[in-house]
Amino acid sequence: MTDCLKPKRQGGWGLIAMLALLVVAGGAIGAAAGSKPEPEPAYPDMWNPDWLLRDWWDLDPLAPERRKRMARHQHFMDHGVPDEYRGERNPFSVSPEVVREGRVLYAAHCQNCHGRVGMGDGDAALAVNPSPALLAFLIQTPLGVDEYLMWSVSEGGALFGSDMPAYKDRLSIAEIWKIIAYMRAGFPRAE
């Protein structure tokens, strides 16, 4: 019997020693915590997790530069163009003469930002905010209708806080249409 009890008694002492250690350690931790209060941990709200609260269709989570670019598209989708541009169609056909004139005008007024073939890589591209639109792509999308282009070029980016200049007082309406015809023709080089 004594042989059986012996290890048990030893185990009991070990347990007491461990408890004593825990009390001392606990006191030390408590003292440390008392001197420097830990900030409240921010537990996720399980009923309203982040991904549920975020409105994916809202422009807010976007970087400010991207928001400016998207704002024009969103504005058009929500409201269309202002009345004075509604239903506008290019009166010029994409003829060689019109495209030639459009190329000269584009090179003089747009290329510096939008680049030679509308890839947003002109010399001043890095200096403007947001970066210049990729007109080569825009012109091929359902967004790139005549009234949208005429509105964007005429009014510029004032409404959206972008660096896109307004051309309604710098170019005639006919000149803007010729630039649009040139873009629709695919930004061809001079023959």
Q: Which residue type occupies 21?
A: L
By CB under 6 A, the residues from 11 to 50 that bind ligand HEC are none
CA separation for the pair 148, 144 (Å, rounded): 6
Question: What is the chain's alpha carbon radius of gyration, rounded to the nearest angstrom?
Answer: 34
For 101, the token pair is 């004139």
Binding of ligand HEC by 108 (CB under 6 A): no
Question: In this chain, which stretch among 12-20, 67-75, 79-87, 88-96 interacts with ligand HEC, using CB under 6 A?
Answer: 67-75
CB of 95 to ligand HEC, least distance (A): 19
Question: In this chain, which stretch among 13-21, 46-54, 84-92, 112-120 interacts with ligand HEC, using CB under 6 A?
Answer: 112-120
Cβ proximity of 84 and 99 under 8 Å: no
Cβ proximity of 170 and 109 under 8 Å: yes
CA separation for the pair 86, 150 (Å, rounded): 10
Binding of ligand HEC by 160 (CB under 6 A): yes
Looking at 88, 98, 99, 109, which residue binds ligand HEC (CB under 6 A)? Answer: 109
Looking at 112, 119, 145, 185, which residue binds ligand HEC (CB under 6 A)? Answer: 112
Helices and strands, number each (H, E), in the chain: 8, 0
Residue with smaller CB distance to ligand HEC, 2 or 131: 131
Q: What is the DSSP string of 175-190?
A: HHHHHHHHHHTT-PPP
Give the x/- contact pattern for ligand HEC in 134-153, rule: CB under 6 A.
Answer: -x--x----------x--xx
- Would you tell me how many other CB atoms lie within 10 Å of the CB of residue 119? 15
Binding of ligand HEC by 114 (CB under 6 A): yes
Binding of ligand HEC by 115 (CB under 6 A): no
Cβ proximity of 132 and 71 under 8 Å: no
Q: List contacts with ligand HEC (CB under 6 A).
A: 68-69, 72-73, 109-110, 112-114, 124, 128, 130, 132-133, 135, 138, 149, 152-153, 157, 160, 162-165, 167, 179
